[in-house]
Amino acid sequence: MIKPELLAPAGNLEKLKMALIYGADAVYLGGERFGLRAQAGNFTLEDIKEGIEIAHELGKKVYITVNIIPHNEDLEGLSDYIKELEKLSVDALILSDPGVFLTIKEVAPGMEIHLSTQANNTNYKSAEFWYKQGVKRIVLARELSFNEIKDIVEKAPKGLEFEAFVHGAMCISYSGRCLLSNYMVGRDANRGECAHPCRYKYYLMEEKRPGQYMPIEEDEKGTYIFNSRDLCMIDHIPELVNSGIKSFKIEGRMKSSYYVATVVRAYRKAIDEYFEKPENYIVDKEWLDEVHKASHREFSTGFYFGKPDSKGQIYETSSYVRDYAFVGIVQDYDAASGIATIEQRNKMSLGEEIEIIGPHKKMFTQKIEAMWDTDGQEISSVPHPQQIFKMRMKKAVEKYDIIRRERGADE
């Protein structure tokens, strides 16, 4: 067996670093133009340069999204942008549009190209077509079952790689192609500006009965009839590996550094465990517990085991489950004193129970018993955003270890 790549989202430089440190083999990110996450932090060319240097120093890869479905004006500046990316030694570009593909072939013919899920690749003949054009990898449509994926992999050209989403938000529309945002608020989802109207509250009304709502609502809040559950395949690593998928992709360029680190860490552990003990592999409950501690909606397995039924939707709410708060990140640790220097991310106070996780350690818990500000004065809480402070730790910690706590009822 060939161990699959674990591919993580990077909405900014911090998220890129956390993804790689916590176990991702590669990251995908967008520049300031031509990508489908216009509201993400996104990367300037200088940021991309720095991100690539960090990744390559760790022996890991960076893929850049140029996957909008462009109108004529969107093509302006594309050639120059691609040339700049080529100079920065980007590992691959992710695209969905034949015009963008042609432009890349004209100005950077040696560039590795990955076909985005936006291109809706659902069969082996389409895969063969794109391979013959020069595509190295295809990100499969999310609407495929394991049986369909295995058939595509077996019948596709042997040099072609396949990537698939294994975790994160699901789109109600076919592989992300949607005009609902355009209609509702005038923001083009296919050009990076999705307003997520599938998460809005809706009622059903028949046109000849104005004001009379059909009894499909679950409660007084309404019914979220377009609201998909999040995808989570951490319980199914053997099936994913055996399907022939080369790269396991996590969704979430709009998510936090904590989300990226937590989810990547869990999948890293699950994949490594399977390859260490394929014959005696047992799913560890801790992995699923970990992904539940990151912001999420209720989980499903998407289309992998067949078309989702009503259990693939959430009809009660569009809200995320956020049971845990990311409260700090370790900046330094003095082993002699057992005191860590920490950057605050959310308020924490003396007496609170916290959990500490890191890329290479098992999670442990402790109470906050003592904290000091940068002047060495004892403090009872750290309320200020990104406040630097010190804390005594029960066990040794490392730079980039994450501190979290369970949210209170009023948060």
Task: With respect to residue 186, please indicate whether it lies within any of the assigned structural domains.
Answer: no
Q: What is the count of structural domains for the chain? A: 2
Which residues constitute the domain of residue 86?
Answer: 5-170+229-306
Q: Name residue, tokens 């760790």.
A: 58
Distance CA 45, CA 267 (A): 30
Same domain, 74 and 145: yes
Q: What is the CATH number of the domain that holds 116?
A: 3.20.20.70
- pLDDT at residue 313 in the model: 52
Q: How confident is the model at residue 315 (pLDDT cuts 50, 70, 90)?
A: very low
Residues near 112 by Cβ (< 8 Å), separated by ≥ 6? 91, 92, 93, 136, 137
192, 222 contact by CB (below 8 A): no
- pLDDT at residue 222 in the model: 45
Using CB atoms within 10 Å of the CB of residue 224, give its burial: 0 to 12 exposed, 13 to 18 middle, 19+ buried: buried
- pLDDT at residue 183 in the model: 57
Using CB atoms within 10 Å of the CB of residue 347, give its burial: 0 to 12 exposed, 13 to 18 middle, 19+ buried: middle
Going by C-alpha positions, the residue among 109, 156, 110 that lies closest to residue 137 is 156
Same domain, 235 and 354: no
Same domain, 237 and 328: no
Task: With respect to residue 211, please indicate whether it lies within any of the assigned structural domains.
Answer: no
- pLDDT at residue 70 in the model: 87
Provide the percentage of residues in the chain whose pLDDT is more than 90. Answer: 68
Distance CA 315, CA 197 (A): 14
Provide the percentage of residues in the chain whose pLDDT is more than 70. Answer: 82
- 141-150, 265-274, 282-291, 302-311: segment of lowest average pLDDT: 302-311
Same domain, 294 and 350: no
Distance CA 362, CA 347 (A): 24
Task: With respect to residue 178, please indicate whether it lies within any of the assigned structural domains.
Answer: no
Q: How confident is the model at residue 262 (pLDDT cuts 50, 70, 90)?
A: very high
Mean pLDDT of 227-248: 92
Same domain, 92 and 166: yes
- pLDDT at residue 130 in the model: 97
Distance CA 227, CA 200 (A): 8
- pLDDT at residue 365 in the model: 96
Q: How confident is the model at residue 306 (pLDDT cuts 50, 70, 90)?
A: confident
Same domain, 153 and 269: yes
Indicate if the pLDDT at residue 270 is higher than 90. yes
Task: With respect to residue 133, please indicate whether it lies within any of the assigned structural domains.
Answer: yes
Indicate if the pLDDT at residue 63 is higher than 50. yes
Same domain, 235 and 276: yes
Return mean pLDDT, the chain. 87
- The alpha-carbon radius of gyration of the chain (Å, integer) is 23
Same domain, 239 and 377: no
- pLDDT at residue 317 in the model: 52
- pLDDT at residue 187 in the model: 77
Task: With respect to residue 364, please indicate whether it lies within any of the assigned structural domains.
Answer: yes
Q: How confident is the model at residue 223 (pLDDT cuts 50, 70, 90)?
A: very low
Going by C-alpha positions, the residue among 295, 244, 286, 241 that lies closest to residue 265 is 286
- Note the pTM of the prediction, 2 decimals: 0.85
Q: Bigger pLDDT: 142 or 409? A: 142
Same domain, 32 and 116: yes
Same domain, 302 and 328: no
DSSP 3-state of 87: helix
Q: How confident is the model at residue 221 (pLDDT cuts 50, 70, 90)?
A: very low
**Cα–Cα distances in angstroms (integers) from residue 257 to residues 59, 101, 261, 362, 372, in the given order:** 21, 31, 6, 19, 25
- pLDDT at residue 52 in the model: 98
Q: How confident is the model at residue 353 (pLDDT cuts 50, 70, 90)?
A: very high
- pLDDT at residue 395 in the model: 96
Indicate if the pLDDT at residue 352 is higher than 80. yes
| Predicted confidence (pLDDT) per residue in 6-62, tens digit | 999 999 999 999 999 999 999 999 987 776 555 545 789 999 999 999 999 999 999
